Amino acid sequence: MRNAAFALVGGLALVGVASSQVEWNEMPLPDGVYREYSADYRSDVIDIPLEPFGELEYKLGLNEGDSIVYQWDAVELEDPEMLYAEFHGHTEPVNNVGDLMYYRKATGGTERGTLVAPFTGIHGWYLRNDAEEAIVVRLKVAGFYELLEQ
């Protein structure tokens, strides 16, 4: 009975809010707040193995303006300072010349962030394991991108 009374009072409160007149001031939409994509949304979880003192580059293809949200964590790495990572993007070279932009260079066992691609090209992570044991970097990524052949 008590729950029914609360439901009735809550329902009446909602009716009161819905029936009141609100005057809305429409705000202009700033550039970059909303965008549509031609690519399909996707999400992936990728385990990237790194041998002791091993290195590799993990690559995604993004068009200018495409965005991703990502997180990676080094699994079973005792000293996070033993993993070096560069998050960067580069164009496809033409006549052995290309453009390169670094987004972040750091050591550590984890990274989280977003990227809106400043140009069409290859964007991703160079990872170097300076530890004496093999590790796995678990990458979780979602957005508008293409997985490239590694």
Q: Which residue has the tokens 């979880």?
A: 45
Give me the residues of the chain with pLDDT under 70, please.
1-19
User: How far separated are the first and last CA of the chain, in Å rounded?
Assistant: 63
In a domain, 12, yes or no: no
In a domain, 49, yes or no: yes
- 1-10: per-residue pLDDT in tens? 555 555 545 5
Q: What is the pLDDT of residue 15?
A: 52
Q: What is the pLDDT of residue 150?
A: 73
Q: Are 109 and 85 in contact (CB under 8 A)?
A: no
Q: What is the pLDDT of residue 81?
A: 95
Kindly report the number of other CB atoms within 10 A of residue 74's CB atom: 24
Which one, of 78, 57, 72, lies nearest residue 131 by Cα?
A: 78
Q: What is the pLDDT of residue 142?
A: 98
CATH of the domain at 130: 2.60.120.510
- 89-113: per-residue pLDDT in tens? 999 999 999 999 999 999 999 999 9
pTM of the model: 0.78
Q: Are 133 and 52 in contact (CB under 8 A)?
A: yes
Kindly report the number of other CB atoms within 10 A of residue 46's CB atom: 14
In a domain, 129, yes or no: yes
Q: What is the pLDDT of residue 76?
A: 85
Pairing verdict, β 100-107 and 121-129: unpaired
The structural domain count of the chain equals 1
Q: For residue 51, what are the domain limits? A: 42-147
In a domain, 19, yes or no: no
